[in-house]
Chain A
Amino acid sequence: MDTMCNKPRKQILAIISFLFLSFIFSANNVSAADGAKIFKQNCAVCHSLGTNKLTGPGLAGIATRAPGDEWLKKWIKNNDALRKSGDAYAIKVYNDNNQVPMSAFEFLSDEELTALVEYIKAPPVEKKEEKKDNGGGATAPTEQGMNPLALLIGIIAFLIIIIAVLRGVRFSLKNLQNEKQGLPAEEQVGPWTELKTWMAANKTKTGLVILFILGGLASSGWYALKGIGVYEGYHPTQPIAFNHKLHAGDNAIDCQYCHSTVEKSKTASIPSVNVCMNCHKGISEGPTTGKTEIAKIYEAAGWDPDKGAYTKPEKPIKWVKVHNLPDFVFFSHQQHVKVGKQDCANCHGDLKTMTTAQQVKPLTMAWCIDCHNKTEVPTMKDNPYYESLHKKLAEKYKGEPITVAKMGGIECAKCHY
């Protein structure tokens, strides 16, 4: 009984002492934690804790570099006033950083400033897990699946061997039987001669088999011909392994952030590299390919991540075009997205789930016309021209839905001229 009673008491004691200790520790950590928060909210937009320069210089080694805590506090609070007071180091820092002034932070209290200075002088060391760098980055070990064609050839070769062996067995069994019955031994005929005799004896079966083979060849030929010029399933390797799933799916960036001309132009633009840099100036490491792919953006933009400036020559990124319409057809994104209110996924599939952009729709004329026949056009309230047109069409096709086709959407010259 005694032990039964003692145990909970001990536990309570342990919990209380733990809480007390953790309170003491957390009380000691208040300033550092606040400093981290203040830094993240106000400073991290322009300063890194490392040596690399963002908009402002990196803050590693600031404790030994700057004249002292009081100077740092004054600088953070209002660097403009400090410079105007004639502080030599302040003016030097200003000139060293291309005379881009830092914002003033008058609203920070002395306590907060102390916490912040403590934090930037000795930020907690982040434990970084050593990642294995494969160099190429994209050279992740891929499972070497069996090539289906090689597999088939193997199976067929195996079957042929079995046929040959079985024929031999059958021949020797037959001769054994003949010997028993006292008949003369048969001479083994070649497989081809045997097949010919079998075919002569079973004409219907032979005909059926030939028909079956011909049918198979004809249908495969038909599908092969239908696939000419159709890029469905085309997903080329791009010069930079851009991941649509990560950007548009996981990070929920709108398609139009990058393809910003889709509502204004015939084409949805491929973003120029400055659009990539809008985010990747700050994000130099991704979750799937690490730094390798993002480094390619930096190379194209001429960005030096260590200096934090565009110092190198620019190079164009040679993106491979996936969705390709031939020259003899007119297509306008503006008309479909802005006026027709079509979702991107209707023609491009759900790119939010694709790691490599792939053409999922055939983009053939039959596919276009099919959609034009099905898609109904709603009345356009703020457009008098379409409103009157809609009214006339409604009178002409009583009760039937007004589709794109009925508005002239399948006339030849609409797309071919």
Chain B
Amino acid sequence: MNKKVTRIISLMAVFGCVTIGFTSCSKHDENSPGVEFMPDMYRSPSLEANLFDVVKNEDGSYDTIISNRKPVAGTIARGYMPYAYANTAEGYEAAGANLRNPFPKNEANLKQGEVLYGKFCVHCHGAGGEGDGLVGGKLPGAPPSYKTVLKTLPEGKIFHSITYGKGLMGSHASQMTQEERWKVALYVQKLQGNDGAAAATVASDSTKTDSTAVAAAVKVEEPKK
């Protein structure tokens, strides 16, 4: 009887030791990535994307590395095209009156526009463009519907609104290139139920922009290829 008890107890003790051996090596701190062998290979002095790090210099001082920074003033991205209309009420009207979509309304462009709409617009404007997206409902006011209030919005104004934002909507120029914005505009027109020509005539009727206002709004001439 005594022997049995001691045997059981000693076995349990051994198990305990082994389990401690296992657990003491596991990661407890969620903010620590774990053990690193030769951290120099992981955290190099050269900047990697999307990084914020504090590094120790040889003299014991610390440096903060932030790799995501604003570009130097005057930087021009590759493929950048200046946009001719200013972010003002006059610019908005002028864009509506003068801007035309460089992309033809064909199936391929519309399909790309639909994919982009699904990524960048659908959560507020809704799949049918009626302002009934999941996020749209949480905003102080849902976006107006393409089928009613914005039915006659011309393509230039659609493009201008995506570029600079309008009302509660922010600028989406950092997320989409000009080409992508035009393709989204194509798809929005499809949701409006308008073809391009009808929208253009409505635009010229409804916008009462005199030529001086347009000239004031157009700061930079659109570069010609």
Contacts and interface: CB of A to CB of B under 8 A. Distances in A.
A binds B: yes
Given A149-B20, A270-B50, A257 B175 contact: yes
B30 A235 contact: yes
A152 B66 contact: no
Contacts, number: 192
A224 interface: yes
Helix, strand, loop or mixed for chain B's interface? loop
A253 B49 CA distance: 24
Interface stretch (B38-46, B99-107, B183-191, B194-202): B38-46
B216 to A, nearest CB: 14
B193 interface: no
B16 A156 contact: yes
B139 A233 contact: no
A128 to B, nearest CB: 15
Interface stretch (A66-74, A134-142, A212-220, A399-407): A212-220
Interface stretch (A113-121, A180-188, A323-331, A372-380): A323-331
A293 to B, nearest CB: 15
A267 B50 CA distance: 8
Interface stretch (B55-63, B164-172, B217-225): B164-172
Chain A contact patch, size range: 35 or more
A45 interface: yes
Interface string B60-80: 000000101100000000000
A48 interface: yes
Contacts of B49: 266-267, 269
A55 B167 contact: yes
A381 B47 CA distance: 38
Contacts of A40: 141-142
A44 B21 contact: no
Given A40-B141, A45-B140, A282-B140, 8 more contacts: A44-B139, A159-B9, A213-B17, A231-B34, A253-B135, A257-B120, A278-B165, A327-B46
Interface of A: 39-46, 48, 54-55, 100-101, 148-149, 152-153, 155-156, 159-160, 162-163, 166, 170, 209, 212-213, 216-217, 220-221, 223-224, 227-231, 233-237, 250-254, 256-257, 260, 266-267, 269-270, 272, 274-275, 277-279, 281-283, 316, 318-321, 324, 326-328
16 contacts: A43-B141, A45-B142, A101-B89, A162-B9, A213-B18, A217-B21, A220-B21, A227-B27, A256-B119, A266-B49, A267-B50, A269-B49, A275-B175, A319-B50, A319-B52, A324-B42
